[in-house]
Amino acid sequence: MTNDPTVRFLKDIRSPETDDAAARRKQESEQENRHPGSKLSPQALEIAESLQDSVISPSVLGGTVRLLDMAIVILAGLATFASTAIGGYALEHLLLVGAALILAVAFFQAADCYQLPVMRTVLSQGARMTIAWTLVFGVFLVVKSSGVLLTGTSELWLTSWYALGLAALLVSRLTLSILTRRWTRQGRLERRAVIVGGGTAAADLIHEIEMHQDNDIRICGIFDDRKGDRSPNIVAGYPKLGTVADLVEFARIARIDMLIVTIPLRAEKRLLEFLKTLWVLPVDIRLSAHMDKMRFRDRASSFIGTVPFVDVVHKPMADWDSIAKRAFDLVFACVMIVLLSPVMIGTAIAIRMESKGPILFRQKRYGFNNEVIEVLKFRSMYHEMADPTAKKVVTRDDPRVTRVGKFIRRSSIDELPQLFNVLRGDLSLVGPRPHAVNAHTNDTLWDDVVDGYFARHKVKPGVTGWAQINGWRGEVDTPEKIQKRVEYDVYYIENWSILFDLKILFSTPFALLNTENAY
């Protein structure tokens, strides 16, 4: 795909102009400042940073366009009726608007008006919309001519509705085609994919994917543990950016949607090792089956063009799920801030009266995709004894904790400022609790205690969570306790729904009555 922004970028960075040693050293220095301690190559870092812009989900775009079409159909019908008829809206006219809505959506869908390649065009999209919209009123005219229904419906209204609706639909689709073309050029309407495994298998897969020019896959690079002739540094025009271990760091900098593993399914041991490393990432993971010539059940497989894939891991809370989750967070967080504002104001006054120092305590914690975020809490310790790096866990009767601090920690009132983290987008109301960056048990970091610990970061952390309402809150002084937290967190991620969030949210006040491990 010659218009792929990543391909153009890769050609640019391989050009002689980038061979200047001073420019390269400057570039490496800037990257080190942005990502201190990164083990990625300068080339991999540069590509990862070029992929930090958010993408637009094609399914969300299609759904939004459907809603816009429905609004146009309804508003055009009501507006033209108001301007051509005398009196209020009769029930039969409202039913007719509803019928038009159902027919229009069905005909637009049948005409493929919500396919991304169609939405990029002007003439084809306009012709499809015109034919589908005309069919809607063709049905009305046939019914009206039968003399059984719609006999009292004004032909002037139907004609005006048809004309205004068609004009509005065509204008909206013209605007849509302009926007989708722009977003396509910017790379915002594509699924960003990384190939895991190099060599001939990767090259064949890339060629097959690129044969289907209408697909939305954008290949961003290749990662492979092998070296030499079995896995050259350039495969089908794309560079090998590092090892599979490097891919985990790359995917936490770049916004990647999909990992495509080209290792043959018969290489079971090597495949399992890769998946064990990669499943903690919040991305789709698919196994390329184009070389295995195997048939799979529909629910276990998918296609890009005619290339078959085995779906191994699905990205949690993607597309409309993420929108529903965010709307849930905003609505309930705003309501809770209003309702709990007297409690928060009283807590702030009590903290200020008892000890000197700021009312709020800020601590670095792990957020979505292992990003470090700053979480807000009411200060529960004496300011001079505060431990923002969590080097020493809080224990029972800890002398660092104030009297007010003991109460607000037991009741979890100290967590209420995190509602503002929810509004800011760092946290969700419900999710795995954010742990401090240096959280440890017996001098061992938690990610070393629990295998797959970072899988809990595949979604945004939450103010409350499934582990907390099941009693796993407070001090973590044994490996078993953090193991249990992670088990409950992963269960939540794999079984998430809005109803599940509601259950956890409304169960939280009752779970807080158990203060055995909270101090």
Q: pLDDT tens digit string along 230-257?
A: 788 888 888 889 888 888 889 888 888 8
What pLDDT, on a 0 to 100 scale, did the predictor assign at position 475? 63
For the ranges 158-162, 290-294, 400-404, which has the lowest average pLDDT? 290-294
Calpha distance 312→301 (Å, rounded): 9
In this prediction, what percent of the chain has a pLDDT beyond 90? 25
Indicate the pLDDT class of residue 147, thresholds 50, 70 and 90. low
CB neighbour list of residue 134: distance below 8 Å, 6 or more residues apart = 162, 166
- Residue spans per domain, the chain: 5-55+190-313, 58-185, 320-511
pLDDT tens-digit readout, 451-490: 666 777 788 999 998 988 888 776 666 777 778 888 888 8
Which of 3.40.50.10320, 3.90.1300.10, 3.40.50.2020, 3.40.50.20 would CATH assign to domain 5-55+190-313?
3.40.50.20
Q: Each residue of 293-305: pLDDT tens digit?
A: 444 344 455 666 5
Give the torsion sign (CA, 215, 221, 222, 227).
positive
Give the predicted TM-score (pTM) of the model. Answer: 0.70
For residue 11, what pLDDT is reported? 41
DSSP 3-state percent helix, strand, coil across the chain (nearest 5): 55, 15, 30
Per-residue pLDDT of 183-233, as tens digits, reads 888 878 888 889 988 888 888 888 888 887 667 788 888 998 888 777 888
pLDDT of residue 262: 84
Tokens encoding 443: 């001098």
* Per-residue burial over 295-320, b = 16 or more CB atoms within 10 Å of its CB, e = otherwise: eeeeeebeebeebbbbebbebbbbee
C-alpha distances out from residue 71 to 98, 114, 327, 415, Å: 11, 16, 21, 42
pLDDT bracket for residue 55 (50, 70, 90): confident
Residue 499, pLDDT above cutoff 90: yes
Give residue-wise pLDDT tens across range 255-294.
888 888 887 666 677 777 777 778 778 888 888 765 444 4
Pairing mode of beta strands 191-196, 258-261: parallel
Pairwise CA distance, residues 333 & 382, whole Å: 29
Q: Please say if the pLDDT value at position 79 is more than 50.
A: yes
Give me the chain's average pLDDT, please. 80
| Higher local confidence (pLDDT), 140 or 20 | 140
pLDDT tens-digit profile of 299-347?
Answer: 455 666 566 666 677 778 888 888 899 999 999 999 999 999 999 999 9
Kindly report, residue by residue over 98-134, the tens digit of the pLDDT.
999 999 999 999 999 998 888 988 999 999 999 999 9
Strand-pairing partners, residue 422, are none
Q: Give the model's confidence band at 87: pLDDT under 50 very low, under 70 low, under 90 confident, else very high.
A: low
Q: pLDDT category, 8, cuts 50, 70, 90? A: very low
pLDDT of residue 257: 87
Nearest 5°: phi and psi at 479?
-60, -30
Q: How far apart are CA 64 and CA 122, in angstroms?
A: 19
Contact indicator for 204, 235 with CB cutoff of 8 Å: no
Categorize the per-residue pLDDT at 56 as very low, low, confident or very high, splitting at 50, 70 and 90. confident
> Does residue 379 or residue 270 have the better pLDDT?
379
| Segment 42-63 mean pLDDT | 85
